[in-house]
Amino acid sequence: MNTRSLKPWLYLLPAILFLTAFMVYPLFDVFVYSVEEGYNFASQTYSGTGIYNYSYVLHDQYFLQAVKNTFILVIITVPLSTGIALLISLGLNSLPKLKDLYQTIFFLPYVTNTLAVGLVFMILFKKTPYSEGFVNLLIHFFGGESVDFIEGPYWAKMFVMCFYTVWIVLPFKILILTSALASVDQDLYKAAKVDGTSRLRIFYKITLPMISPMIFYLIITGFIGAFKAYSDVVAIFGVNLNAAGMNTIVGYVYDMLYGDSGGYPSFASAAALILFAIVLTITCINLLVSRKKVYYD
Amino acid sequence: MSTKNTDFKNIERTAKNREKTWKIITYVLLTFWALIVLFPFYWMVLTSVKSYGAYNAEYIPQLYTLAPTLQNYVDAFTAVPLAKYFLNTIIFTVITTLIMLMVTVFAAFAFARLEFRGRNLLFTLFLALMMIPNELVIITNFVTITNLGLRNTFTGLILPSITSVFYIYLLKENFEQVPDELYKAAKVDGTSDLKYLFKVLIPICQPTIVTITILKVIECWNSYVWPRLITDSPTYFLVSN
């Protein structure tokens, strides 16, 4: 009997061990760091405990800029990417031919290195004294004014950032949604067809409720993912994000820890915990909403 | 009678036309996005075969090149030890993925098939961990690894990247879809849990396991933040550094 009750824990042991060491323990540790004031990394000493680190971070204009950038990014890209992914998956699902080809093409961005493609995006959007950049040529072609998207006005930079984020997160969402659409019971559609239901009505009354769990899964993970944006930003705007005014919260944490202005684990921890609080709140709200709106059978 | 007949034909025709319009719209939109997706890749390949001079001389970027060259690939491999970085990335990816698979399969099996006290509680805790952003724990992991003296080693690179609750969750759902009868039949035959796992569950759930492997390989190949933090000696740089 004893060996029997021990066995499951044996199976779980490696996972628990790694998770405790690299997820749970750090969580406590980050909290401890974040309340230690005047922590010195070299001598491992600190002068006292309190909430000074939080107030410093919250008053740091770079952090506020990062929060603003992150929120704009999240609010624009999450609904947009989920919506486009839904449209594309619906389109894909209705295709009689070439479905596999399109599916493969749409999946491509997932397989590539974010940094490499980010650099390509930067070159495409960049305007230097030597070259107009491809996107500006397109704008000229349609009769617009050229804009420097990388070092120019704020909205232009934000546009590149959002466009790139949508471009990079779509494949995963399309993958999940197409498989969700494929698993909807075809009898429901046949019944609706017999009744002469309109396309829009079929979508609202059958398709949407049936795939709503997956949509909410995508929205929740989308929020979490967008809040964690960092390497994409680096790829487009370079390492010095503060100067570009395009830093994200994670970028701020990273800079505080390791960048040129780095060496402040306390501030980094405080910022990271603030981010965690934001993500947790939004995830909880999402879960509450989903409980009301999502259809489970 | 005859008017009714034509009516039917008319209705049929409009319905078919509408169907056709829908199809054309779908194809146009999908092709449009496919072009947006493909263009950066085309650009990457194109630029990689343009000579440096030609690339810089273009005030208006050209969408084709008349004199393709492979010199850039040669340069990439000679200017930095790119071959070495590739090798590092491959080693890192293979080892991480293998260990991750083992850990994930065992944990998913325990959650899906074995009965024990506190199973649900533990699983909820696992799910809660999914919400913690990686960047939050990266600070402490950095300190832990540094204190263990594992900076600039493969062990240091690999250890924190192993577990992923997301994959455990995915695989557990998949294991649970396998009918209970198979497990009971195996028990009647006196098959051990381990043998059942390897002979029955893993072959049945192969598609999911392959998916997880592919996703993890991609994730490893593209990981940037952690490798950049933990390695500062070029001997252990990955391609993305």
Structure tokens at A187: 């009898």
Stretch A263-270: mean pLDDT: 78
pLDDT value, residue A81: 92
pLDDT higher than 50, residue A1: no
Chain A contacts of B47, Cβ < 8 Å?
A: 120, 123
Nearest chain B residue to A122, by CA: B40
Give Cα A56 to chain centroid, integer Å. Answer: 26
Q: Which B residues, 64 through 93, put their C-beta within 8 Å of a C-beta on chain A?
A: none
Q: Provide the residue ranges of all domains of chain A, joining segments of one domain with +.
A: 62-293
If pLDDT is split at 50, 70 and 90, which confidence band does B58 have? low
Q: What is the nearest CA distance from B59 to chain A, expressed in angstroms?
A: 4
Express as a percent the part of chain B with pLDDT over 90: 0
B80-236 has CATH 1.10.3720.10 classification: yes
Give pLDDT, residue B33.
Answer: 86
Q: Do B241 and A234 meet the contact criterion of CB atoms below 8 Å apart?
A: no
Q: Which positions ≥6 away from A183 have C-beta within 8 Å?
A: none
- Of the candidates A15, A137, A228, which has its C-beta nearest B163's C-beta? A15
pLDDT in tens, A8-56: 888 888 888 888 888 888 888 878 877 776 666 555 666 666 777 788 8
Q: Name which of A250, A255, A272, A266 is nearest A32 in CA terms.
A: A266
Mean of all residue pLDDT scores within chain A: 79
| A276·B136 Cβ contact <8 A | yes
Least confident of A61-75, A270-284, B40-54: B40-54
Show residues of chain B in contact with A224, CB under 8 Å: 131, 133
- What pLDDT sits at residue B52? 60
**In chain A, pLDDT over 70 holds for what percent of residues?**
82
Chain B residues within 8 A of A283 when measuring between CB atoms: 131
Which tokens hold the place of B143?
């300190």
Say which residues have a Cβ less than 8 Å from residue B202's Cβ, sequence separation at least 6: B105, B209
| Best residue of B23, B28, B86, B136 to probe chain A, by most A CBs closer than 10 Å | B136
Q: What is the pLDDT of residue A135?
A: 74
The pair phi, psi for residue A106, each rounded to 5°, is -65, -25
Q: Which residues of chain B does A131 touch, with a Cβ-Cβ cutoff of 8 Å?
A: 58-61
Is the pLDDT score of A128 beyond 70?
A: no
Q: Do A22 and B137 touch (CB under 8 A)?
A: yes
A32/B contact by beta carbon, under 8 A: no
| For B62, nearest residue in chain A (alpha carbons) | A134
- The closest CB to that of B103, out of A15, A110, A276, belongs to A15
* Inter-residue contact A74 to A226 (CB < 8 Å): yes
The whole-angstrom separation of Cα B160 and Cα B145 is: 9
What value does the mean pLDDT take over residues B184-203?
A: 83
Q: What is the rounded distance in angstroms from the CA atom of residue A165 to the CA atom of residue B234?
A: 30
The CATH number of the domain covering residues in A62-293: 1.10.3720.10
Q: Which residue has the tokens 């503060």?
A: A242
Mean pLDDT of A157-170: 86
Cβ of A113 and B240 within 8 Å?
yes
Name every chain B residue with its beta carbon within 8 A of the beta carbon of A256.
none
A82 within 8 A of A290, measured Cβ to Cβ: no
Contacts of A256 (CB under 8 A, 6+ apart): A262, A264, A265, A267, A268, A271
Using the predicted structure, report yes or no on whether residue B188 has a pLDDT greater than 70. yes
| Percent of chain A clearing pLDDT 90 (strictly above) | 3
- Tell me, what's the pLDDT at B50? 66
**CB proximity A25 to B under 8 Å:** yes
Q: How many Å apart are CA B84 and CA B73, to the nearest integer?
A: 15
Return the pLDDT at B1. 47
At B122, is the pLDDT very low, low, confident or very high (cuts 50, 70, 90)? confident
Chain B, 143 to 162: residues with Cβ < 8 Å from chain A are 143-144, 159-160, 162
Residue B14: its pLDDT value, please? 83
